[in-house]
Amino acid sequence: MKKKYWILLTTTPAVLILDQLTKWWVSCSLEMGDRTPVVEGFFDVVYFHNMGAAFGMFSGLSDAVRIPFFYVVAAIATVLLALLYRSLRDDENLVAFAIALVFGGIAGNILDRLRFGSVVDFVSLHLGDAVLQGSLFGFKYRIPLEWPAFNVADSAITVAMIMLVATALVRRGRS
């Protein structure tokens, strides 16, 4: 078996299993909306269901639009990534690993959407209760210094995207 397929067949299920196990653990350990500090003032385990995409985008759309939208986007991304994966040379292990991370992340979040109609998020990073506030052009703003909650699937996709961008930049620098 080609190494790129070995990478795919080990990484994708590993991400999916880790994602689903952590979400299961959080749902058994916390009540919806609970927050448990892990590193005081920086890292909490929380339990939320996200109806939207990253940062809650599209959560305000009606179910009739939002739900099919996420399935269509996931299907298109999967097909395009599968085509890219198929075209990889066998020595492109880093790219193969990154794409396998994305497949695992997509699978984890789609499985949540199929089961719950939303995605379970549980990692919360923040800077204490710090808030950035001020006034700009006469408008007052108040922004809590907290990253929106996320999960293992989101992390896998984010790490993969960073790896793919870095790989593309390195390749471009060699040209």
Q: Residue 117, by phi and psi: left (phi above 0), alpha (psi -120 to 50) or beta?
A: left
Q: Which residues pair with 113 in a beta bridge?
A: none
d(CA 94, CA 30): 36
- Helix axis angle, 93-116 relative to 3-29, nearest 10°? 40
Give the separation between CA 77 and CA 94, rounded to whole angstroms: 19
CA dist 37 to 41, 122, 124, Å?
A: 8, 12, 9
Residue positions annotated with a catalytic role:
121, 154
